Amino acid sequence: MTVSPSPLAVENATLGYGRLAISEGLTVDVPDGEFTVIIGPNACGKSTLLKALARMLKPSAGRVLLDGRDIHSRSTRTVARRLGLLPQSPIAPDGITVADLVARGRYPHQGILRQWSARDEAVVAEAMEATDITDLASRSVDELSGGQRQRVWIAMVLAQQTPLLLLDEPTTYLDITHQIEVLDLCAKLHREGRTLVAVLHDLNQAARYATHLIAMRDGAVVAEGAPADIVTDDIVEKVFDLPCRIIEDPETATPLVIPRARPRDLG
């Protein structure tokens, strides 16, 4: 079987902020065509890794590779045509409408000789339809609920029409219903052929939706692979310091983490 080359990779990189190194000698390959979820405890380097993959953070040593070339040697427009990013807590300009925000996803495809076209209009309409926000097109983004806003941002990323999508904690601040809606949408995008990389905090959601997991602790990759191979009682305790049992999710047959009961103080 021929294995597709990784479209996005970190090669022996040191990642951090100023003099603070979060990861050293970090090597990660993003599998082509998979829905990869990065998991781990708070401050373990998950979002730092995603920022490096998104070209928002330059390694002080090592490289991040996009299609085999250093991502920092590529033009901003070229990178924007290959990967889309949904950052944590994105902020929309005051008063902007849903349609106008989604349309900003087409900017990487504009240029001096290529202005807004019927094709751009169609792509924006398709992105809004895919995220079920067409009826919100004329609404101000400021007026929307958290779940609606998140779908709008995903629509903007979809309008870029990139084969790679990076999502940094896309379910943060959402209630459980909206979390599932966003993750169902991500799963749909993956089934349609996109490569996704997301940072998630909920281990059970990661196990249910991901096809590939990367488990991190203290800036290093502890384990990676299929959820059934990574979400085990030994690995979960090693990564999260959480004694647990792993059972089969009755809905999806994926691993389900059940924390061990702690002794209660009966005094």
Q: What's the predicted TM-score (pTM) here? A: 0.89
Mean pLDDT for the chain?
91
Main-chain dihedrals φ then ψ at residue 78, nearest 5 degrees: -65, -45
Instruction: Show the CA angle centred on residue 225, arms to residues 222 and 226, nearest 5°.
Output: 135
Residue 186's Cβ-count burial label (10 Å; 0-12, 13-18, 19+) is: buried
Confidence of residue 117 (pLDDT cuts 50, 70, 90): confident
pLDDT tens digits, 65-92: 999 999 999 999 889 889 999 988 888 8
pLDDT at position 3 is: 52
- Residue 12: pLDDT over 90: yes
pLDDT at position 266 is: 53
Residue of 31, 36, 25 whose CA lies nearest to 4: 31
Q: CATH assignment of 8-95+163-259?
A: 3.40.50.300
Q: Where are the domains of the chain?
A: 8-95+163-259
Q: What sign has the CA pseudo-torsion 170, 106, 10, 229?
A: positive
Q: Quick one: how many helices (H) and strands (E) in the chain?
A: 9, 12
**Inter-residue contact 246 to 231 (CB < 8 Å):** yes
